[in-house]
Amino acid sequence: MAGISLDQARTIIRAALESGRGLNLKPLSVVVLDAGGHVQAFEREDGAAPGRFAIAHGKAYGAVMLGMAGTAQMARAESQSYFMAAVNGVYGGQVVPVPGGVLVRDSSGDVIGAVGVTGDTSDNDAAAAVTGTEAAGLHGEI
Amino acid sequence: MAGISLDQARTIIRAALESGRGLNLKPLSVVVLDAGGHVQAFEREDGAAPGRFAIAHGKAYGAVMLGMAGTAQMARAESQSYFMAAVNGVYGGQVVPVPGGVLVRDSSGDVIGAVGVTGDTSDNDAAAAVTGTEAAGLHGEI
Amino acid sequence: MAGISLDQARTIIRAALESGRGLNLKPLSVVVLDAGGHVQAFEREDGAAPGRFAIAHGKAYGAVMLGMAGTAQMARAESQSYFMAAVNGVYGGQVVPVPGGVLVRDSSGDVIGAVGVTGDTSDNDAAAAVTGTEAAGLHGEI
Amino acid sequence: MAGISLDQARTIIRAALESGRGLNLKPLSVVVLDAGGHVQAFEREDGAAPGRFAIAHGKAYGAVMLGMAGTAQMARAESQSYFMAAVNGVYGGQVVPVPGGVLVRDSSGDVIGAVGVTGDTSDNDAAAAVTGTEAAGLHGEI
C-alpha cells in the first residue's frame, strides 16, 4: 500500500502552517493520518488552544474512515444529523464533520491518508490543508 | 509557568459566591481550571444540587480546550449543533456549551485558565464568574 | 441528612494544606466529597502535578461509595486484586484504593462524606486528611 | 506562559529520531506534550507500527499528569500494580507506565511538559527522549 511518508507529512504540515502565517490566520494545528486513520505527524502552533489536537484529528479521522472529505460530511450532517451522530457512535465519537478534514489521494486516485486542520474558520482550515497537500505533490479533496 | 495561583483561584471563587449572595441568586458552584483544563479549585454552596461540579467543570473545560468562551460556544451550538456534538465526542462528553464558562486572560491577553459557574441562569452565572475574575485582577471573557 | 457544610469543607482543606506545609510535604491536593460521593470543595497547591484532582477524587470516592476508608481498600487490593478491579468496573474506574481516602463521620458515627488527599506518600496524605477532618470537629477514619 | 514552544518540540523530535538512526534502533515515534498534557507535536517514522501514537502519548501523558517519569511509574506498577491500574481508571486508560515517558523541566526545575518515545526497548526509548530534550536545552527526567 502506497502511503504518506514522514517526509511528505512534514512537507504538508510546514506548507499548511506557512500558508496560515502568510494569510494572517489564527494559530493552526495540523495532523496527518495514514490510510488506516493512524497519526503520522502533528504540529500545533504556539498560541493555539490546548485541545486542538482532538479537533484536527477528528476532522481527518472521519475523512479516512468514511472515505468522505469534510465538506461532504458537513452536507450530510446538515441534511441527516442523526446519520453523523450514528457514525460517531460506531467510531467512538472521534469524527468532527466539518471542512478542514481533507482526503489525500495519490496520482492513481487512491486514498493514502488525510489531513486535518483547525484554528481559523473551517473554510480557511480546509484551504490551508489543500495548500499543504499540494506542496507534497499530492491531491487534496476538501 | 504563569497561570492562576491557588490564592487567585480562592479570590475568584469567594468573590463569585459573594456576588451571588449579594444578588440573591440560587446557590452557586464555581470551578477554576488552569491553562491545561485541569482543576485548580472548586466550591459548591450549601443547598446546590449534588451534580453541580460536572456542570461547572463542563462550562470551563470547553472554554479552555477550544479557546472559546461559553457565549461563543452557545452561538456555535445554535448554528451548528452537530459541530458541538462532535466536539463533545472528541473531548469525552466533558463540554457544556452555554454562558458561565469564562476564559481568563492575563494582562498580555494570554489564556491562563477558565472559570465555570452554575446554579442560576446562564447569564447570571457568567456575570458572577466575571465578578470573581476581576476581583483577582484578571480579565474574564464571557 | 446531616452533611459537610461548605464552611466545614473549607476548614478541612485549609487545615490539611497547612499541616502539609508545617511538615514540609510535597504540594498537596485535597478534595471533600459529600455523603453521596459528590464534590463539595477542592484545592490544589501551586506546584502540584495537573492530574492530582482525579487522584484525590478517586481516593475519597471509593471511601464513600464502599463505606470503606483507603487503608482497608488497600488491604483488600493486596489480598484480592480482582475484587478491587471489579469494584472499579462497577464504579466506572473512579476508585483509587490507597491511604489518603478518609471517611468522615459525625458525632453519631454516621458517614457524612470523605476527604481525599494526594501529593506526598500515601501515609502522609492520610495524616493530612485526618488533621483537616479533626480541625472541623469531625472524625476521620483512615 | 512558559512552556515548550513548537520550535523546541521540533528540535526534540528531530534529535530523538536522529539518535535512533545513529544507534540503528527500530523505527521510533516521538510525542511532545505541554504542561497540561496536551499534544504539541508528534512524528512517527516510516516503518513504525500504526498504533504507536497511542503508546508514545501514554508514556508522556502519565508523566505530566502524575508529575512522575516513566521509570518511577514502572517501579510503582511493579510494587503496587493495583495502584497504577486505578490511576489508569481515573485517567481514562491513557497511561503507559514504562520508561520512555520523560518529564521535561526548565532551568527553574518546573515541569513544562513531557516527551514520549516508543519503538525500541523501553530503555533505548528513554535515552532517545533524553537526547532530544537536551538538544533543546531542557532537562529530561527519565
Nearest to C6 among B41, B44, B53 (CB): B44
Residue D1 has pLDDT above 70, yes or no: no
Element (H, E) at B140: strand B139-141
Contact yes or no for D83 and C98 at CB 8 A: yes
In a 3-state reduction of DSSP, which class is residue A76?
Answer: helix
Asked if pLDDT for residue B89 goes beyond 50, the answer is: yes
Indicate the pLDDT class of residue B2, thresholds 50, 70 and 90.
low
The residue-averaged pLDDT of D104-127 equals 96
DSSP C69: -
Sequence-ordered list of residues with C-beta below 8 angstroms from that of C90, at least 6 positions apart, any chain? none
A49/A37 Cα distance (integer angstroms) = 23
CB < 8 Å to B34, chain D: 36
D34 contacts A39? CB cut-off 8 A: no
Given a cut of 80, whether residue B137 has pLDDT beyond it is yes
Which comes out higher in pLDDT, residue D107 or A135?
Answer: A135
pLDDT of residue A2: 62
Contacts B38 to D, Cβ<8 Å: 36-37
The SS3 of residue A114 is: strand
Which of C12, C31, C39, C52 is most worth mutating to test chain B (most B CB atoms within 10 A of its CB)?
Answer: C39
3-state secondary structure A10-75: HHHHHHHHHHHHHCCCCCCEEEEEECCCCEEEEEECCCCCCCHHHHHHHHHHHHHHHCCCHHHHHH
- Do C and A touch, counting CB pairs below 8 Å (3 needed)? no
CA angle, B31 then B35 then B40, to 5°: 35
Put simply, the answer to whether D87 touches C57 (Cβ < 8 Å) is: no
**The one-letter amino acid at B126:** A
Q: Tell me the mean pLDDT in the region D29-54.
A: 97
pLDDT, position A121: 97
Distance from CA of C107 to the nearest CA of D (A): 32
pLDDT tens profile C8-20: 999 999 999 999 9
Q: For residue C101, what are the β-bridge partners?
A: C116
CA distances from C91 to A61, C40, C52, C75, D130 (A): 31, 19, 19, 19, 38
Three-state SS letters, chain D: CCCCCHHHHHHHHHHHHHHHHHCCCCCCEEEEEECCCCEEEEEECCCCCCCHHHHHHHHHHHHHHHCCCHHHHHHHHHHCHHHHHHHHHHCCCCCCCCCCEEEEECCCCCEEEEEEEECCCHHHHHHHHHHHHHHCCCEEEC
Number of B–D residue contacts, CB under 8 Å: 25
- Encode pLDDT of B99-121 as tens digits: 999 999 998 899 999 999 999 99
Per-residue pLDDT at C2: 62
pLDDT of residue B3: 85
At residue C103, the pLDDT reads 98
ipTM of predicted assembly, 2 dp: 0.95
Q: Which residues of chain C neighbour B38 with C-beta distances below 8 Å?
A: 44, 50-51, 53
CB pairs under 8 A between B and C: 44
How far apart, in whole angstroms, are the C-alpha atoms of residue C47 and residue B75? 36
pLDDT per residue, tens digit, chain A (142 aa), is 568 999 999 999 999 999 999 999 999 999 999 999 999 999 999 999 999 999 999 999 999 999 999 999 999 999 999 999 999 999 999 999 999 999 999 989 999 999 999 999 999 999 999 999 999 999 999 9
Maximum C-alpha span of chain B = 39
Q: Closest CB to D36: pick one of B2, B36, B92.
A: B36
Helix (H, G, I), strand (E, B) or coil at A142: coil
Q: Can you tell me the distance from the alpha carbon of A128 to that of A56, in angstroms, rounded to the nearest whole number?
A: 12
Residue of chain D whose Cα is closest to the Cα of A4: D46
Give the pLDDT confidence score for residue C3 in this predicted structure: 84
**Mean pLDDT, rounded, of chain B:** 96
Write out chain D residues lying below 8 Å of C96, CB-based: 83, 86-87, 89-90
Contact B90 A77 (CB under 8 A): no
Domains along chain C with CATH numbers? 6-141 (3.30.450.150)
Contact D86 C88 (CB under 8 A): yes
Q: What is the DSSP secondary-structure string of C86-140?
A: HHHHHTTT----STTEEEEE-TTS-EEEEEEEESS-HHHHHHHHHHHHHHTT-EE
CB contacts of D90 in chain B (<8 Å) are none
DSSP letters of B31-69? Answer: EEEETTS-EEEEEE-TTS-TTHHHHHHHHHHHHHHHT--
Q: Look up cell 506545609; give the residue.
A: C21
Q: Are A51 and A64 in contact (CB under 8 A)?
A: no
What residues have CB less than 8 Å from D11, skipping those under 6 apart?
D132, D135, D136
Express as a percent the part of chain B with pLDDT over 70. Answer: 99
User: Would you state the pLDDT for residue D3?
Assistant: 85
pLDDT in tens, C76-96: 999 999 999 999 999 999 999
- Collect the ranges in chain C with pLDDT lower than 50: none
